[in-house]
Structure 1
Amino acid sequence: MADAWLPGAGRIPVTLDGGRLKGGAPRVVWFSSESDPRLVSARSTAHDLARQGRPAHLVWNPCAGEIVHLLPATLAGCLLDDPVRGEGRICLQIMVVALSREPFTTGPLAGLDLIMRWLDTWGVPRRWPAGPPLPAPQSYHSERRRRPWSRGGHFGASQVPESLQADPGALDIRRITGQDTPVLELPRPRQVVAAGGPVGRPCLPGQSPTPDSATDLLSRRLARDTEPFLTPDPV
């Protein structure tokens, strides 16, 4: 069973949370604090968020490997607004002590394995349905579409529907979720459809039918053309 608190992380108790979760695909949203991780600690950032009434679930300093936990995974965080912050079986918010102009994936990622293993226990898919987050300030114009969001997985704050945030910058998503992470979502294969229904193997957009598909189509056409033509009996 998944643990509501990240084992091994420090904790800072807070009294404010984002309310109950509404169910749906599990997801995680990555933020950046816009502070230098070489100068600012995760604990200091976590205290600032708590004082502001904006607690995230985790605050992580990737240079020091310091992780501080403020809210259990079973409650919504406060860095996003309603209703999106409560969407999902879990909707984890991770504040990374980092700068958008210097994305945290360009430096050390101490402690990331611990975080990813915990996310795996919650069933968060290792994919980025909206693709890699855009760099700032281009990220202010991100599409923030509902369809990728509904699939669950990993998102930058700049990709969340109804969000106005531009962080965390142009992340190298494969350094977070692994080298097998697709950078772009591939279209699903489509089938060649004849009058009698789908035949042959699926074809990708722009491809011609496979030889087997073409042969099958020709066989159907010949069978149709060679059917006996029946004339009515004389009266």
Structure 2
Amino acid sequence: MPAQSDGGPLRGGAPRTAWLSSESDPRTVSARSVAADLIREGRVTHLVWNPSSGEIIQLVPATRAARLLGDVGCEGRVCIQIMVVGHARDPFTNTLMTGLDAIMRWLDAWGVTRRWPAGPPLPSPQSYHSGRDRRSWARGGHFGGSQIPGVDRPDPGGIDIRRVTGPDTPVTAIPKPRPVPTEESAPGRARHLIRPPDPVRMPDPEPPRLTPVRPAEPAHH
């Protein structure tokens, strides 16, 4: 069910994926129905997925930008927009998520790293006030619509990111340890300010312990 028009060429950068929600009931609304609405409104995404039935509809090839996110959706070697049939107030990770494995293998093939640089998306309506910083976005990986710069959306709500990208997904970025300054890497410091470690004084050896010897008893004749 390809769309007649897309968002144009991609501009390069780290591959990324945006997870969005249609604000419709996956038990009664099909992915095909949501896809038809997006085409009619000119707001197509790459995929529409119903996590209850497993139905997946592709509207735009991964090598082209989709249209729902606007200009920011052109950033990245791929910027795959996935519309999940569901509600932000009821995260899709509460469903069976039928078909997720196939989607994740497809995203892996396009080089989308299984990480969430902005952390787990906030639940709705708190997600309207999410941080949408460009530094996290530029790193690539997985994002909720509520975490994308310039996009005023609450979706996909407070999803369990480890149910999406796996149990080993880090919840937050692991900070790198700070390097220990050395004499060569301490600009502006006098050489004598970096003291060598004090010599370790070994304790004096203890005298050997003597075991008392009992005198031999006299022999009886």
TM-score (norm 1): 0.79
| Runs (5+) with no aligned partner, structure 1 | 1-11, 199-216, 223-235
C-alpha deviation, 1:192, in angstroms: 1.5
Q: 1:190 aligns with which of 173, 178, 194?
A: 178
Q: 1:43 aligns with which of 32, 44, 55?
A: 32
Secondary structure in 2 matching 1:49: helix
| Runs (5+) with no aligned partner, structure 2 | 187-193, 200-221
Give 1:86's aligned residue.
74
Secondary structure in 2 matching 1:190: coil
Alignment of 1:213-232 (within 5 A): 218-219=195-196
Q: Which of structures 1 and 2 has the bigger CA Rg?
A: 2
C-alpha deviation, 1:221, in angstroms: 7.7
Q: 1:123 aligns with which of 100, 111, 124?
A: 111
Report runs of 4+ in structure 1 exceeding 4 Å deviation. none
Identity %: 61
Give 1:202's aligned residue.
none
C-alpha deviation, 1:111, in angstroms: 0.2
Q: 1:140 aligns with which of 128, 152, 168?
A: 128
Give 2:62's aligned residue.
73
TM-score (norm 2): 0.84
Across the aligned residues of Structure 1 and Structure 2, the Cα RMSD in angstroms comes to 1.4
Per residue, is there more strand in 1 or in 2?
A: 1
Give 1:61's aligned residue.
50
For residues 73-93 of structure 1, give each alpha carbon's deviation from its aligned partner in whole angstroms, at most 9, with x where no partner exists.
0110111011x1100000000
C-alpha deviation, 1:47, in angstroms: 0.4
Give 2:189's aligned residue.
none
C-alpha deviation, 1:194, in angstroms: 3.3
CA distance in structure 1 between the partners assigned to 2:182 and 2:43 by the alignment? 57
